[in-house]
Amino acid sequence: MTQKPWETSALPAPGRRRPGRLEERARCLSFVSLLLLTAITSVSEAASRFRPLDPKEPIRFPKDHGAHDDARIEWWYVTGHLSSPSGDQFGYQLTFFRAGLLDEPAGSRSSRWAARDLHLAHFARTDLAKKEFRYAERSQRSGPEAAFARGETLDVANGAWRLLELGGRFVLLARDGADELSLLLEPEKPPVLHGEKGLSRKGPEPDAVSKYVSFTRMRTTGWLRTARGVFAVTGSSWMDHEWGSGSIGRESAGWDWFSIQLDDGREVMLYQIRGKEGAPTRFTSGTLVEKDGRTQPLLADDFTVTVLDRWKSEKSGAIYPSKWRVEVPGAGLEMVVTPVLPDQELITNRSTFVTYWEGACEVKSSGQRAVVLGKAYVEMTGYAGKGALGILSGAGGEKK
């Protein structure tokens, strides 16, 4: 067996790129937002590729798992909790963003390089035993073998990172330096349509809506490689898919989002859109998923989230909530959500320009003798002074 060039000692270790190039990349991308604005505002309304969401249009699967070319922004968000037979526990997050760049109708360009979209992606994993959190990001223009998001069925890629559907099951691949993830996800429940038949309102503006669907519980098997070895893992994942063309979150300071998988077979999704003053607005809602898959929308009055602790990031200076009491009285739930590791912050200056916190959490009952109720992933944006959605909000907001 010949030695692979990347295994030679003379080459810098993976991930240890030349100084300078990284900065170069970073600089590169600080213009993505600028570019998005110029690109979008310069094209006439008449032949616009992007359409506002049609609330009446029903969501159909598997087609709607795939990309929506007429939506300005779209993302697929997968988070999960994994454990190996040896008892190691991990959390992971893999996110694919697609931001429409050129306002050209599909099929108007013959070259596959036509930069219709920007593709950004984040990959993070948390090693509970080592108390280690690592993340990576990627950004590319659409191009052959570079990055794409197909319609019809779910198949998104950004370099070697990929998420695709194969006959009702989903394959997830990601790799960065020593970290590599290869998972098979099998939905245990049908897809959940949040809001009104999938239409989720995010702000007071008429177009501040998105279509939002989730697989809230997916049986997960596969393997995970970290610097300390390869682990055969099993666990449970959660996949969100959201798309829209409107100004999502323009009036808000950020949001807090919870995906809770309870050991009793139920799941809870909650989000709070925070106003400029920091207090949750009325566009705060959620979904309760019963064991049998039936769903029940949760309105702002149906639940409360109380911050119990805070954590200050040394890197960004942002102060994040770090422990919550979550109560859903209607479901008989009173939970304390605690991060497995305080620092699960992503500073994404090479892709989306959002500094946010997204991390694995454990869910216990409140009180002296806390009982483990389940696991959760929590996302918090807008605590580091930047926009809640970074360049994505720019893309959505600057409509003519």
Partner 1 sequence: MTLYWALFSGLVIRPARRDRLRFLLTIAGIAIGVATVAAIRLANASVLSSFSSTVDLVAGRATLTILADGPGIPEDVLGRIAWLERIGAATAPAVSEMAAVAGPAGEVVEVLGIDPMSDAAVRPYVLERVEEGHGPGVSGEETLATLFSLFQKDTLLLPAPLSARLKAGPGDTVRLVAQGQERSFRVAGVLEPSGPARAASGAIVFADIATVQEAFGKTGRIDRIDIVTPEGTSLADLTRLQEEIASSLPAGISAGRPERRTETVDRMVRAFRVNLTALGLIALLVGVSFVYNTLSISVLRRRTDIGTFRALGASRGQVFLTFLAEGAFLGVTGGALGIVLGVALARLALAMVGGTVTDFYSPAARTELTIDPSILGFAFLTGVAASVFSSLAPALEAAAVPPAAAMRHGSVEALRRKGTVPLGLAGAASFVLAFLATLPGPVNGLPVFGFLSVFLSVAGSSLLAPAAVTTAARLLEAVARRVLGPVARIARANLSGSLSRTSVAVAALAMGIGMLVSVAVMVGSFRDTVILWIDQTLAADLFVTPASGRSNVSFGKLPQEFVDRVASLPSVAGWDAFLGFSATRDGVPFTVGSGRLDFIASQGNLPLVSGGDPRTLATTVRQKREVLVSEPYAVKFGVKTGDVIAVPGPRGDVTVRVGGVYVDYSNDRGTVLFDREMFCELFELDGAVSVAILLKPGLTPEEGIRKLREAFGEHFAVRIRTNSALRADALRLFDRTFAVTYALELVAITVAVLGVFNTLLALVIERRREIALLRVLGASERRVKEAVVFEAGVIGALGAGMGAATGAVMSFVLIHVINKQSFGWTIATHVPWLFLTAATLVVFVTTLLASWHPARLAAGVEPASALREE
Binding mask 127-156 for partner 1 (x = CB under 8 A): ------------xxx-xxxx----------
232 touching partner 1, by CB under 8 A = no
User: Which residues have C-beta within 8 Å of that of residue 23, sequence separation ≥ 6?
Assistant: none
Distance CA 220, CA 81 (A): 9
> Which window, 7-15, 182-190, 295-303, 312-320, contacts partner 1 (CB under 8 A)?
7-15
17 binds partner 1 (CB under 8 A): yes
Interface mask (CB under 8 A) for partner 1, residues 33-72, using x and -?
-xx--xx--x------------------------------
Q: From the list 6, 60, 87, 368, which residue makes contact with partner 1 (rule: CB under 8 A)? A: 6
Please tell me the count of residues contacting partner 1 according to CB under 8 A: 46
Q: Is 30 in the site for partner 1 (CB under 8 A)?
A: yes
- If binding is defined by CB under 8 A, does position 113 make contact with partner 1? yes
Q: Which of 114, 300, 341, 347 binds partner 1 (CB under 8 A)?
A: 114
Q: How far is the CB of 32 from partner 1 (least distance, A)?
A: 7
Binding string, 167-186, against partner 1, x = CB under 8 A? --------x-----------
Cβ neighbours of residue 207 under 8 Å, at least 6 residues apart? 52, 53, 245, 246, 247, 399
Nearer to partner 1, 24 or 196 (CB): 24
Stretch that binds partner 1, among 59-67, 102-110, 287-295, 350-358 (CB under 8 A): 102-110
The residue among 146 and 300 lying less far from partner 1, judged by its C-beta, is 146
Q: Which of residues 15, 190, 278, 329 is near partner 1 by CB under 8 A?
A: 15
- Which residue among 46, 111, 371, 400 contacts partner 1 (CB under 8 A)? 111
Q: How far is the CB of 351 from partner 1 (least distance, A)?
A: 12
Q: Which of 47, 106, 129, 160 binds partner 1 (CB under 8 A)?
A: 160
Q: How far is the CB of 266 from partner 1 (least distance, A)?
A: 41
Minimum Å distance from CB 49 to partner 1? 13
In SS3 terms, the chain reads as CCCCHHHCCCCCCCCCCCCCHHHHHHHHHCCHHHHHHHHHHCCCCCCCCCCCCCCCCCCCCCHHHCCCCCCCEEEEEEEEEEECCCCCEEEEEEEEEEEECCCCCCCCCCCCCCCCEEEEEEEEEEECCCCEEEEEEEEEECECCCEEECCCCCEEEECCEEEEEECCEEEEEEEECCEEEEEEEEECCCCEECCECCEEECCCCCCCEEEEEEEEEEEEEEEEEECCEEEEEEEEEEEEEEEECCCCCCCCCEEEEEEEEECCCCEEEEEEEECCCCCECCCCEEEEECCCCCEEEECHHHCEEEEEEEEECCCCCCEEEEEEEEEEHHHCEEEEEEECCCCCEEECCCCCCCEEEEEEEEEEECCCCCCEEEEEEEEEECCCCCCCCCHHHHHHHCCC
Supply the minimum distance, in Å, between the C-beta of residue 323 and partner 1: 38
Which residues contact partner 1 by CB under 8 A?
3-6, 8, 10-12, 14-18, 21, 24-25, 27-28, 30-32, 34-35, 38-39, 42, 101-102, 104, 109-115, 139-141, 143-146, 159-160, 175
